[in-house]
Structure 1
């Protein structure tokens, strides 16, 4: 009798396990959207990884490149944070406003040397430079988005700097309280 019950249990259990295994393996049908391409995004990130590391600059290297003719200093933080404090000479285009048209107004040539920095490059003024999660650093998104739009020469401020000690010229557009 025990053997019979065991055999009966196996007969009903194995097909159930097999069905649940098939359900787990089935992938949902992709939701098509021609304006979103995760595969291309991953390709850009993977291709840019090595180059990006060689384009991260020290404070002194960044300052020196700022002085070159034709270099664009791009600040992709919010307009509000930009006005509180930014590097002198920076042009503000919030990351959320990146389009082919808005970028070409500020950076008309794809080969233009572009310098970028973000909240995670400065400490000592949380209102102007609110730190993000390291994996969500605006520099990462900005770098890869500029690459996606075809820009070729992007350099990033590398270190974390104290706003009171940096040699980079920080200025405010906000009226004093």
Structure 2
């Protein structure tokens, strides 16, 4: 009898705990977020879903990328590290490392938020492991760069879609690696 009562008490306690956890699930996350108002994970998740709807329509072919990059009103943006950018980058691309993207730095680099911005990353090029070391697909720099630009109000963003062979692409490159291979 005691074992049955103890098991019942444990079950009721566990049930109350689980109901409490379910009821405070999102609220608990929000409360944690309120501990640091500069980090908003729920907002991030919401924005990722919003960006996903837009981004897929804004991924461009190699030909379209080249056409856009040749338009003087377009900014080609490289968000890799300065070291990788200096080594090899799309010719004419401007650089700002993803960790350095702030509203102020972006406003200086891209003053008009309706400017067309075209991005690329390591995972767009193969056969250039030093300058374009591939990242895990879910850690692709394009994903974070697109979301970051979007969160700062830039909406005219395009992304190079295909995986291109660095030795065969028609996209021109600059940097110390490009200069040394001449």
Q: Which position in structure 2 is the counterpart of 1:19? A: 13
**Range that drifts further, 100-109 or 17-26:** 17-26
The answer to whether the aligner puts 1:135 opposite 2:138 as a matched pair is: yes
Q: SS state of the match for residue 171, structure 2?
A: coil
TM-score normalised by the chain length of structure 1:
0.90
Identify which of 70, 82, 87 aligns with 1:84.
87
Q: Which position in structure 1 is the counterpart of 2:169? A: 166
Q: Which position in structure 2 is the counterpart of 1:104? A: 107
Q: Which position in structure 2 is the counterpart of 1:60? A: 63
Q: SS state of the match for residue 129, structure 2?
A: coil
Residue 48 of structure 1: CA displacement?
Answer: 1.6
TM-score normalised by the chain length of structure 2:
0.87
Alpha-carbon distance in structure 1 between the residues aligned to 2:170 and 2:16: 61
Segments of structure 2 that go 5 or more residues without pairing to the other structure are none
Segments of structure 1 that go 5 or more residues without pairing to the other structure are 1-6
**Range that drifts further, 16-25 or 88-97:** 16-25
Q: SS state of the match for residue 164, structure 1?
A: coil
The answer to whether the aligner puts 1:144 opposite 2:147 as a matched pair is: yes
Residue 23 of structure 1: CA displacement?
Answer: 3.3
Q: Which position in structure 2 is the counterpart of 1:4? A: none
Q: SS state of the match for residue 49, structure 2?
A: helix
Superposed CA offset, 1:113-167 (max 9, x none): 0000001001111110111111111101100110000001000000001110010
- Bigger radius of gyration among the two: 1
The answer to whether the aligner puts 1:72 opposite 2:86 as a matched pair is: no
Say how many residue pairs are matched: 171
The answer to whether the aligner puts 1:8 opposite 2:16 as a matched pair is: no
Judged with a 3 Å threshold, the aligned counterparts in structure 2 of structure 1 residues 106 and 173 are, in CA distance, closer, same or farther, namely: farther
Report the aligned-residue RMSD: 1.8
Alpha-carbon distance in structure 1 between the residues aligned to 2:78 and 2:60: 16
